[in-house]
Amino acid sequence: MAHQLRTTIIRTTTLSLGSLAFLELTTHLPSEGRSSLAYHHFFDHVVTPLGRRLFSPENAHHLALEVVRLGLAPRGRVAGGGGDHAVDMTVEIGSDGQGRKLIFDSPIGLAAGFDKNGEAIEGLFDLGFSYVEIGSVTPLPQPGNAKPRSFRLVEDKGVINRFGFNSEGVDMVRQHLIDYREAFGGRGAGLKKEETKSDEEVIVSVESTTEESRKDTSEPSEEEEGDAVIEEDKALRIVKSMGNSVMWSLGWVWHHFMTSQPRTGILGVNLGKNKTSDDEIGDYTTGIRELGPYADYLVINVSSPNTPGLRSLQQREPLQHLLTSTLKARNSYAPHAPLFVKLAPDLTEEEMEDVAQVVMETGIDGMIVSNTTNARPDSLLSHNKHEVGGLSGAPIRDRSTECIRTMYRLTNGSIPIIGVGGVGSGRDAYDKLKAGASLIQVYSMMVYEGPGLISRIRKELADIVEENGYSSVDEVVGADCEEIYWDRREERVKRKMEEAEKEIVDL
């Protein structure tokens, strides 16, 4: 079995690399470093389906992350190019007065979960995202729940996961952020390096806690299921060993001769708590202190369904205490970074009212709506629908949009919202903007649509915005809530007039 799998992987990889080299040699250089349409098509319609067929969800995820890290994934076209030239795609969050103003080239970013440890930030920006959110990162390394812990719902274009905040911890992630900032600049660039644990120390720390975690988080696996996981782990090690030699060399050539200057953007860091910790405020404060100096914005994740007791922090009093404490920590250790809180889609109307009251009282900078859901819609067809964990992808799209609309209304449009959940087209993104989101995040739908999805969403969104008579994406935000929308538009016009008057006076 292992020999047959190895042979299949080697043949497939050889054929794929040869095809990629041909496509890029003939089309990449003339397009100023952007990947060709053929290269995108190859990844979306050949590589992505093949990965689903050959590998388990988690191993396919690791391979995709490695491809992105090495710079072999298709590069998206530059923001503002092509079909979106007539629409202003930039988004501004925060204000200069607080020193936390962020300007995004487009509203399309990557949700947390894909790059949990900040290993492939450069490659992710090259895909075409205007901002990338890494994490969730926990203070101490932890392995997460036992495998298998990720499941595709192919018929529904959904994913169920119960990872449980598997993380290398703040020490390792901080080093990744330091390396990235030293190479590309931005927040934290030039700060004095602090001592961090070596890769070997972190790996040993993770492995030493794996056995205890498995005892606590899941029942023993079936014997044949365990064999399948072992075989796939062997296959993953084979491919990774190739990545350490042949693929690394190919990546080096790609970076130095085949691509233009790598792109950068806004970098967010999503923070979580350790499973065995009883001090959630201490955990989030550690994340802010250690990683905040290198982040453009920070996220307090209190909505993962896979960490026991975490979602209880969304109740009014615990949330008030948590946000008040973490805002103080932010002001001390990372005063430049807007602080967001990530919410679940399973909150009742009354619970959402409490959350809205708390975020307005505390002055949190924004919300991310929403995380995965524990609910299982009756429309689900896949046999994996009964797996325990959080559901994401297309099945959660409408619920997420409705939650955005509700939170926008309850906060009177005063708190910026990042909308996430089932975004697989420009229309999906447009619906979330109309509901009240200022920014959009993508993740699970790339499992089915491939990396070319990012460029397609951006172009489709620009076309829809223009077709509906808007000149910018900012004009679309909250259009479903008419009363709030027109008040907000009046404020925007007034602000622009004041800025124009100031420029005239300065002249």
Rounded CA-CA distance 272/392 in Å is 19
User: DSSP string of 446-467?
Assistant: HHHH-TTHHHHHHHHHHHHHHH
What DSSP string runs through 374-396? S---TT--SGGGGSSSEEEEGGG
Instruction: Give the gyration radius of the chain's Cα atoms.
Output: 22
Exposure of 184 by Cβ count < 10 A (0-12 exposed, 13-18 middle, 19+ buried)?
middle
Sheet with strand 150-153: strands edge to edge: 150-153, 158-161, 390-393
Whole-angstrom distance, CA of residue 195 vs CA of residue 202: 13
Taking each helix axis as running N to C, give the angle between helix 426-435 and helix 453-467, from 0 to 180 degrees, rounded to the nearest 10.
60
- 443 near 464, Cβ under 8 Å? no
- Phi-psi bin for 398: left (phi > 0), alpha (psi -120 to 50), beta? alpha
Which element (helix H / strand E) includes 440?
Answer: strand 439-442
Q: Tell me the C-alpha distance between 374 and 359, whole Å.
A: 24
* Residue that is written with structure tokens 């790339």 in the block: 446
Q: How far apart are CA 23 and CA 44, in angstroms?
A: 14
Phi–psi pair at 55, nearest 5 degrees = -125, 155
Give phi and psi for 198, each to the nearest 5: -75, 160
Catalytic one of 35, 205, 303, 304: 304
The Cα–Cα gap between 81 and 34 comes to 11
Say how far apart CA 453 and CA 445 lie, in whole Å.
8
Cβ–Cβ under 8 Å, residues 93 and 416: yes
Tell me the CA distances in angstroms from 23 to 48, 96, 364, 455, one per residue in order: 17, 45, 47, 19
Active-site annotation holds for 304: yes
- C-beta of residue 279 within 8 angstroms of C-beta of residue 321: no
Question: What does 327-344 look like in DSSP terms, one character per residue?
Answer: HHHHHHH-TTS-EEEEE-
Nearest alpha-carbon partner for 429 in 460, 474, 393: 460
Structural contact between residues 21 and 29, judged by C-beta atoms closer than 8 angstroms: no
**CA torsion sign, 186 to 265 to 243 to 151?**
positive
Where in the sequence numbering do the catalytic residues fall? 304
